[in-house]
Each structure stands twice: as structure tokens, then as C-alpha cells.
Structure 1
Amino acid sequence: MTDVALAAARIARHARRTPLLRTEIDGKPLVLKLEHLQRTGSFKFRGAVNALLAGGKPDHVVTASGGNHGMAVAQAAAVLDIPATVYAPESIPDSKARRILAAGARLVRAGENYAEAAKLAQEQPGQYVPAYDHPDVIAGQGTVGAEIVADASDVDALVVAVGGGGLAAGTALSADGRKLVTVEPTNCRALHDALAAGTPVDSPVDSIAASALGATRVGKLPFEILRAADPVSVLVDDDKIIAARDLLWESFRLAVEPAAAAPLAAWLAGQVPGDLACLVLCGANTDWLPA
């Protein structure tokens, strides 16, 4: 099963311990976990490194990704001197595609969505590293929550955006009794629909944050962990996500991708319980101009 403490020890030499920012908005305190400052610009690097270090060093690594996980695997493979191939949907943003290539990986554009790219990737030779549905990946992502708990023991809620569920599941494992709030775009809601159905189901993907949160179906293992954790599942509209993203820039000069602003959108809408929440700013891999 997942072991967050062991993952933390494995990745310590390679991943950054990202800082917290204690602040307030409209007189209400909150804490921001600046995980967009992680190597490759997202939390995904943690899970990728842990997955590659958990077993014997493979001759070749293969993955599928809409962008952030692909960049993370490409960079982790480069650090460990392993050749890597990343399969990505045709719609992968140019900003993410060029960073995968810059890390030295081979990029194959294939399929209309993540599910199609993943199917092709799993048919290739080499060690396949899933984006979220794997215990070592989940454990690596769980080190984000473990750092929050260690560095801000007074936080009573951890708020994360959800795509396939790896970060949310890892955070559930490391929350140490704190409430977990999962946030998804209204039209990109794989976890929300799975929790309602009692099992992972296919969901539509139509959001400004789809390149990071665009899983058509939440992972089986993340779902089991999250169902047991009983999170507060929140949906936010795209216009609220963009407004939150722009607020992060205007108020704090924090430049993040839309997915990373989803937790703040939920917090601003009063959908996050507790007195002091920590919002995970999960990534910054995009090209944009403030509104």
C-alpha cells in the first residue's frame, strides 16, 4: 500500500520542500502551499521520482499525460539517467509539450484525450508510470500534505484540485485528521461523479483547467482512498477559476495555471469549511496574461 513517510525519504534529494505563505483575504486568514514552485512546476515531480526509485532502475520509462505528469516523468527520468517516452493527447498545450522535449524525453502526440493516449502508452515496451492510479505515485504526492501538516499544524482543512485523484488521495493519507476538500471544475468532475455513483464512471471534460484536471475517469485506487476519507467535494465554474487565478497574481504576484487556482475559487465562494485552510497551488505550467 502507499507509504508517504518512505516516499518522503526517497524523494528528499531530488524534490523541493516548497514553502507556505500565511496571508489573509478580506480579513480572513488562509495558508497557501506554493507547490507550483516544485521542480517542473507542479507536484507531479514527487510522484514520478518516487515511482522510479521504488523499484529497480528500468531500462526505459513510458507514460501518458496531458502535460504536468509528462514533464515530471521526463525530468525524473533525466535526473536518474533513464530514457523516457511521453504519450500526450493531440490537444496538449505547446507550453507543456516544449518542456517535455526540453527535459530530453521523446514526445508522441496521440489520441483526443488522456484515456486514448494512456491506452497507447501502455502497449509500449518499458516501465509504464501511471499519472495517478498507482500506490507509489500516490505516496509521492502525499508528501505535499505531509509537509503542510509538519509546517502548519494549526491548519484544519487541506484543499486540493482533482484530476485523476493522485494528489487528493495522497493528501487524504497524510492529512492526519484534517478535513480534505476536493475541488473540480463544474464541467470536469470525475471524482464528484464517482462519489455520487459509488464507483469510477466516465465524465465529460470541458474546462479551462482540462489540461491538468481533464481525467475522464478518476483512478480506481485514488477513488477507494478518497471514498474512505469522505472529502468535501466542491465544484466551481470556469469564470470563478479565472478570477481566482487573476487574484493570485494581482494580490500576491503568484503566477499559476488555472487548475492551481481552483482551490482558491472554492475558498472565495465560501465552500471550504474550517477556520484555517491550506490551499495547494498545484502547478504553474501555462502561458497566460492576467485579465
Structure 2
Amino acid sequence: MNALAYEDIKTAADRITGDVRPVTLTRVDPGAIGGDRRAALDGSPGQPPEVWLALEFMQHTGSFKARGAANFIQAHRDAGTLPEAGVTIASGGNAGMACAWAAQRHGVRATVFLPANAPRVKVAKLRSYGADVRLVGSEYAEALAVCEEFAATTGALTSHAYDHPLIAAGAGTLLEEIRAWIPELDTVVVAVGGGGLFSGVAAAAQHHGIRTVAVEPEHCRALNAALEAGSQVDVTVESIAADSLGARRTSAMALHAAQQDRTHSVLVPDAEIVRARQLLWDHRRIAVEHGAATALAALTSRDRRTPEPSARDRPATGRGYRPADGEKVCVVLCGANTDPSDLVR
């Protein structure tokens, strides 16, 4: 399945209503987040953009992943296709937590495979949801290979961290809620790992005529590289945000979504991700993981650029994203499963 339909997102919204927490949004004070006048979010001489933060890290399990997991488990529950062996998933941490949480709610066994270097805070939280946690290798791809062997041997139902229509459709429900807060939204900015959040959000945004900015670390760029190649490719993963954005290969759904009009793929360096995360702490006392800060880094990066008017409504790639005068922008802060001890207090 390469294209996610808007109807899939509407169905997911109906299915998970009452199971997930509605997103909370907060508006950024003009100039409040940024290093200096040139780097501030209101750095243009005209009417400043209107920037909002979607606090999706307040979701169950600490990330947007709960939406897709709830949709996946409930859909299989409704269809009577949940096996006795339960569900299994490979994850960098957040998707595994969401799967375990959703499975626990339905009394279903969950076996989760993580890279051995997954953050301890995520491993501990997984176990608190009753999951059987298995640490394998040093990258998500290695955990995925062993997870697939486990499913073939036991008959467990395989979920996926991002590359499944039910997972992506659940994630896309977030955009519907954001629009309820900001009916005249122009642009939504999301961090991208494998592309589940981006696929869902972009499909909903495309339906409503909203621009989507997909943000990746410059050395963790599965979607950006696929756009350049015109097909899915494997990439090297090396970023401070790799624990949540460290997919070697983007999904076909994400690539398809990124090739549509009103989408932008941008890259940010690790130093700007660290800086954006610190800015959130300094100005709002918000402690998010580096993957979530990656989205904000597109707007606060000192190398950000304003797309040419002719490029704003067609697929484009670049460094950072500078909103136009008066543009209404929402940045999704997608997860907060992090150790905040390295934030300057």
C-alpha cells in the first residue's frame, strides 16, 4: 500500500475516540524561542508568523505512537484476528511502548524487540506495561529481523513501528485535532523517522490543503534520501535523535506522501536539534526527546531558509524552514521519553 486515504484517517478517529488523549496546543510568544533576532521565530520584518506547539508528548506512553497502536489493536480486535500468541513489534522504544500499552488494555500479550542501546527509560517503561522485552543488536533493523523470526515461529501478530496503514492512519488523527484548534492552519511541521507520523499527517493535511514540512537529522535521512533517489533506499543512521528517528529505510507510504504537492523535506544538524531541545526547556520548561526537538529545529536553525513562493506548493527539499509573513504554523512535539538530566537548569 503506497497511498493512505483520508477515509482511513477518519475511520481511525472514530475507532480510537475515547482511548487516546486529545492533543493540547499552546501558542509560542513572538520571539520567545530563538537565539537572536535573526534566529527568532518572528525574524521577518513584516507580520510575524503565528507558531503553535502541539504537545503530543502528553499522549499515553509519552508519544504520538499510542494513536497508531490503539487503532491497530482495536481494528484486529473488531475483526477477531488477535492470535493467542499476542502481538510483537520491533521498535526504537516509543512504538514498542505504545504497542505494549494498547495490548495491555485489551489483555493481549506483547513481545517487544529493541536495540540493546535503547534508552533505559524506555526499557523500564515498556516493562511497566507488562511487555516481554528483548534487546537485540545495535540498530532498529537488527531488532526487526529477529522480531520477524519470532512472529514466524510463534504465530504472534506483527505490528510495525511505522510501515502499516493502520499505524499511519492512527497517527494522522493528530492533524484532525490540530485543525479543530487552528481552522486556518497553513503548515504543520513533523519530525520523520520511518515515516508513520508523516504519512498520516500528510494524508490528512493534503485533504485540507495544508502544507507539511518533514524534518530529519542530516545524518538520519531515510525520507530525504528516498526523495533524491526517487525510490526507497537504505541509509546510514548516525544522529543524537536516532533512538526515535533511526530508521534505515522510509516507508513506501511516506515516500508517496512526500512526492505530493505542498510537502517539504528539510534537514537539520544535530547541534541545532540539541539547541532546539534546550530552547524548549529554557522558555517553557518542556523536556522532550531529541526526536521531538528535531521538528522545532527546522524553525530555529540558524541555517533555515524561506522557500521561494513558486516552491511553497510543490515538493521541495532544503535546510530548515522559515515561515512566511503571517503564516500559521504548528510544530508537533511528538515524544518526551527522555532523560532530562542533560538539560541545563
Instruction: Classify the TM-score, shorter chain.
Output: over 0.9
d(CA) in 1 for partners of 2:173 and 2:239? 28
Q: Which amino acid is the alignment partner of residue 94 of structure 1?
A: R
Aligned to 2:123: 97
Residue 230 of structure 1: CA displacement?
Answer: 5.4
Identify unmatched segments of 5+ residues in structure 2. 32-41, 43-47, 305-320
Q: If the length of structure 1 is used for normalisation, what is the TM-score? A: 0.96
1:217 equivalent in structure 2: 249
Contact 1:43 1:282 in 2 (8 A): yes
SS in 2 for 1:228: coil
Map of 2:192 onto structure 1: 162
Mark the runs of 5 or more structure 1 residues left unpaired by the alignment. none
The answer to whether residue 270 in structure 2 is matched with residue 238 in structure 1 is: yes
- Identical pairs, percent: 44
Aligned residues, how many? 291
The answer to whether the Cα contact below 8 Å between 2:93 and 2:122 also exists between their aligned partners in 1 is: yes
Instruction: Work out the CA distance in 2 between the residues paired with 1:230 and 1:110.
Output: 39
Could you state the TM-score of these two structures normalised by the residue count of structure 2?
A: 0.82
* Equivalent pair of 2:214/2:266 in contact (CA under 8 Å): yes
* Partners of 2:217 and 2:294 within 8 A in 1: yes
Q: Distance in 2 between matches of 1:76 and 1:229?
A: 34
1:200–1:217 contact (8 Å) kept in structure 2: yes
Task: Tell me the SS of whatever aligns to 2:53.
Answer: strand
Letter in 2 for 1:71: M
Q: CA deviation at 1:145?
A: 1.0
2:195 corresponds to which letter in structure 1? G
| CA apart distance, 1:57 | 5.0
Structure-to-structure mapping, 1:47-62, within 5 angstroms: 47-55=68-76, 56=80, 58=82, 59=84, 60-62=86-88
Cα separation, 1, equivalents of 2:120 and 2:18: 30
Find the counterpart in structure 2 of residue 196 from structure 1: 228
Judge conservation of contact 1:132–1:222 (CA < 8 Å) in 2: no
Q: Which of the numbers 8, 17, 20 marks the counterpart of 1:12?
A: 17
**Cross-structure match for 1:281:** 333
Measured in 1, the distance between the counterparts of 2:129 and 2:231 equals 36
Offset, 1:120? 1.2
**Equivalent position of 2:289 in the other structure:** 257
Query: What's the secondary structure of 2:340's corresponding residue?
Result: coil
Say which of 226, 229, 241 aligns to 2:258: 226
Q: Which has the larger radius of gyration?
A: 2
TM-superposed CA distance for 1:65, in Å, is: 0.2
Distance 2:248 2:237 in 1: 6
Q: CA deviation at 1:154?
A: 2.1
Whether contact under 8 Å (2:210, 2:262) holds in the other structure is: no
Report the equivalent of 1:180.
212
Compute the displacement of 1:228 (Å).
Answer: 2.8
Distance, in Å, in 2 between the alignment partners of 1:63 and 1:45 is 14
